[in-house]
Amino acid sequence: MGSPLDPTPGQVEQLNLATALPRPEEARIEGGRLELSPTPNCLVLVKVEP
C-alpha cells in the first residue's frame, strides 16, 4: 500500500485493523510474582492496588 496521500476508505479500514490494540488482559499477582509475556511493540500497563 505504501503511504497514500489520500487513502481510500478500504485502505483506512485496513490500516486501522493492522494497528488495533488487542483487548486488555487482567492478571493477578500470585506468590509475590507477576508473570508477563509481552510481544514486540506491545503496550503494558501495570496498575498495583492494595
Domain boundaries, the chain: 25-50
- Other CB atoms within a 10 A radius of the CB of residue 11 amount to 13
Grid cell for residue 6: 489520500
Residue 45: pLDDT over 80:
yes
- Is this prediction's pTM over 0.85? no
Q: Is 30 left (phi over 0), alpha (psi -120 to 50) or beta?
A: beta
What integer pLDDT is reported at residue 10 of this predicted model?
93
CA 41 to CA 38: how far, in whole Å? 8
Across 10-24, average pLDDT: 89
